[in-house]
Amino acid sequence: MLELKGLNAHYGKLHVLHGLDLSVPEGQRLGIFGHNGAGKTTLLRACLGDLETCDGHVAYRGNPIKVSEVHHNVGFGMAFVPQGNNVFRDLQVQQNLAIAGLKHDASARKKAFDEVYGLFPLLAERSEQIAGSLSGGQQQMLALGMALMTQPSILLLDEPTIGLAPVIVRDVLASISEINRTRGTTVIIVEQNVQATLKNVDRAVVIKSGRIIYDGASEDLLKQESLWELF
């Protein structure tokens, strides 16, 4: 369980998150939506303890998340794929994955490699390709693969389908659901591709100006004709 209680976040005088409460149970796929600047990335950063100025309570699996101690916090099993530019472009695919799996010993790393290559056979085929020469969708796969190399229990994804063609968007979202189904990984995904994402998550949260204005089953939101009024 990831738990946020009374979360406030500021950048200088700008008050971005206003007393957010959110509990995410193990194994859930949660989609977070909202207009540009609503506070979605800030929320993910707060989950990791990657903000200097926030207050409230954040805990993962009972472990308090300490502010400004990302390195310590990810040790609880969290992996974060940031918005864009998230691979080492000058290194090969396999080197990117190896770096991401550095905290493991050789046998655990081999297991993680097998799992990532099983899920994304294209990365196995392209293991020696320089990451910067992969297509946008392939780089997204690699970024997900790198996150999985840490064998996380929760994945925090910030707009993993940004800039991708609709058919590739579907592939990336399907891969994320597959990770959830086969590994039981909890997934929190921030997305602008609302319709496509709603079909791949269990629950949806909509944030507006740093406050939660909708929290419910994704299928209910999908059916709601006034869906677009929320944005």
Ligand X SMILES: Nc1ncnc2c1ncn2[C@@H]1O[C@H](COP(=O)(O)OP(=O)(O)OP(=O)(O)O)[C@@H](O)[C@H]1O
# binding residues, Mg ion (CB under 5 A):
1
Give me the least distance between CB of 17 and ligand X, in Å please: 8
| Phi, psi for 161 (deg, rounded to 5) | -110, 15
Q: How far is CA 164 from the centre of its chain?
A: 17
Stretch that binds Mg ion, among 37-45, 48-56, 127-135, 214-222 (CB under 5 A): 37-45
Identity of the residue, 17 or 123, whose beta carbon is nearer to Mg ion in the bound complex: 17
Identity of the residue, 77 or 82, whose beta carbon is nearer to Mg ion in the bound complex: 82
Q: Where on the chain is the footprint of ligand X (CB under 6 A)?
A: 11, 14, 16, 34, 36-42
Give me the least distance between CB of 40 and ligand X, in Å please: 3
Answer for the pair 222, 198: CB distance below 8 angstroms, yes or no: yes
C-alpha closest to that of 97 among 42, 145, 31? 145
Give me the least distance between CB of 230 and ligand X, in Å please: 14
Q: Which of residues 91-110 bind Mg ion (CB under 5 A)?
A: none
Rounded CA gap, 142 and 94, in Å?
9
* Paired tokens of 197: 């994402």
Give me the least distance between CB of 188 and Mg ion, in Å please: 13
40 three-state secondary structure: helix
* Residue 93: contacted member of ligand X, Mg ion, none (CB under 5 to 8 Å, by partner type): none
Give me the least distance between CB of 11 and ligand X, in Å please: 3
Identity of the residue, 77 or 82, whose beta carbon is nearer to ligand X in the bound complex: 82
Residue with tokens 């690699």: 142
Q: Which of residues 38-67 bind Mg ion (CB under 5 A)?
A: 41
Identity of the residue, 27 or 136, whose beta carbon is nearer to ligand X in the bound complex: 136
- Ordered DSSP codes for 133-155: GS-HHHHHHHHHHHHHHT--SEE
C-alpha closest to that of 145 among 190, 181, 112, 191? 112
Binding residues for Mg ion, rule: CB under 5 A, are 41
